Structure 1
Amino acid sequence: MYRKILVPLDGSELAERVLPQVEPLARCLNAELILLRVPVYAYEGAHAVSGFHGYATLPLPEERVEAIKEAHDYLDRIKQDLVTRGLQVSTVLKEGETSESIIEFAQTQDVDLIAMSTHGRTGLRRAIFGSVAEDVLRRTGKPVLLIRALEHE
């Protein structure tokens, strides 16, 4: 069944709302949780708003180093919390376009399930910022568990 569950996290509390849903599933199935983080560099937001999601630029070396360190620290903190509760957890940091990185990792690492929160954006905010969760759901061949995490919850 599900032996490897990929949990993409963007560093937000909203994204972490998937964790209470996958924890009992992982425990019941004795599955490994793989926490994945794709660092976003400060300037990438402008490309996303303009619609250039696939546009590749190189970050300044100090920006990249700091973003990677913050991402590792974040993943380690979440991992330690889950490990102390008896779960099997690993962490992965990928660089690149977020949804593409999630899809590629899931495919190449033989992930059984992708579990993630969706921010529940609608209207103009959804049109401008898009939805990584929606893109992953539409483009992957893997099963996807989406948890709608509303900001006012």
Structure 2
Amino acid sequence: MATQPCCYVAIQNVAVATDFSDCSERAVLHAVGIARKFGATLHLLNLVQPSKFAAVPDLLPDIDRAAGRDCDDLIDRLSNTHLLEGVKCHRWVEQGEIFEVAGEFVKQHHIDLLVVGTHGRGGLTRLIFGSVSQEILQHVSCPVVTVGPCSGCPDTQVKLRKILFSTDLSAESRAALPWVLTAVREWKTELDVLHVCSAKDANCPGLLPQRMEELRTRIESLQEGYEQLPIRYHHIAGKPAPTIINFANNSDIDLIILGIKAPHGFYVGTRWSQAYEILRESHCPVLTVRSDAS
């Protein structure tokens, strides 16, 4: 990923993880649209996890070959409907666990943006089955677009009219700014900047308004030399995840962008837990940018 003047980014390689389910089909269509928008190469990745076939390890070579055929069939379907027109596409079948493969794949192929689908499972179901999208988020350094079950499918293009940048006003959150401004510029969207705070912070006359003003000044300085599109700033009291979701749904937001601090070891902080809740419940795709990916 190259950072352009004024803190914008260039996207050259887009990857999408697919298991050929309806959930990942939506992610594939979003990835195709993004790759076309930026003139990027599309990498179609299917991951065969040996742990899921521990009872029949001798079948792994056959499973690999079947996954390859499924990838080729998917590419053929996309090509036959002209969705891949003008998009260079590679397909990959990798064997290994997510924590072993995902991060290395991103580094090896210089992936700038990874797109994944999520079933939106929560509660006990997620504890039983785990979350592939959650595991991927923890093990890759590049930004990740998560497409949930309520996100719908784009047609030949990804269309963005309104973007929500949800920020806790931290340095980690500001790592997402180049991606926010790139999306605003490329799609010529409106932008809502939202900080969710406690009731006590919302009534504070000092630090919070000052930090919001500092963020506004920072965004305007980064936009210098480019058309400045409508930006609205909000701070709302409440619990972060449900407040962000309600704001996005009520405002017809097409993309939520979050900046997150990279996890360390086995520790995953509160902001990550909030992010997972947003990924599961959002009616639009969510772009998550780790602070070590800027």
What TM-score do the two structures reach when normalised by structure 1? 0.80
Residue among 17, 20, 28 paired with 2:29: 20
Equivalent residues in 2 for 1:80-99, closer than 5 Å: 80-84=76-80, 85=82, 86=85, 87-99=87-99
Shift of 1:131: 0.9
Shift in alpha-carbon separation, 1:119–1:12, aligned structure 2, 3 A: same
Gaps of 5+ in 1: 48-56
**Structure 2 unaligned spans of 5+:** 1-9, 154-294
Q: 1:87-132 deviations in whole A, cap 9, x for unaligned?
A: 2110011100034312210122211111010111111110111111
Deviation at 1:36, TM superposition (A): 0.6
Question: Is 2:57 the counterpart of 1:59?
Answer: yes
1:53 equivalent in structure 2:
none
CA distance in 2, matches of 1:95, 1:34: 16
Q: Could you say which residue in structure 1 is the equivalent of 2:120?
A: 120
Give SS of 2:14's match: strand
Q: Matched residues in 2 for 1:24 and 1:8: separation?
A: 15
Residues 97 and 24 (structure 1), Cα distance of their counterparts in 2 relative to 1, 3 Å cut = same
- Measured against aligned partners, the alpha-carbon deviations of 1:28-65 in whole angstroms (never above 9, x if no partner) come to 11111100111245xx3487xxxxxxxxx9811xx122
Tell me: higher relative CO, structure 1 or 2? Use CA pairs within 8 A at least 6 residues apart.
1
Structure 2 counterpart of 1:11, one-letter code:
F
Mapped contact 1:113–1:145 kept (Cα < 8 A): yes
Q: Contact (CA 8 Å) 1:37, 1:93: kept in 2 or not?
A: yes
The answer on 1:147 being equivalent to 2:147 is yes
The yes-or-no answer on 1:31 pairing with 2:29 is: no
Match status 1:102 vs 2:111: no
Q: State the alpha-carbon separation in 2 of the partners of residues 58 and 23 from structure 1.
A: 34
Mapped to 1, the partners of 2:65 and 2:140 lie a distance apart of 29
The structure whose Rg is larger is: 2
Aligned residue pairs, count: 138
SS where residue 146 of structure 2 aligns? strand
How far apart are the structure 2 equivalents of 1:59 and 1:19? 29
TM-score (norm 2): 0.43
Q: 1:78 aligned to 2:98? A: no
| 8 A contact 1:83–1:89 mirrored in 2 | no
Rate the CA distance shift 1:117–1:75 in 2: closer, same or farther, 3 A.
same
Aligned-residue RMSD, C-alpha = 2.3
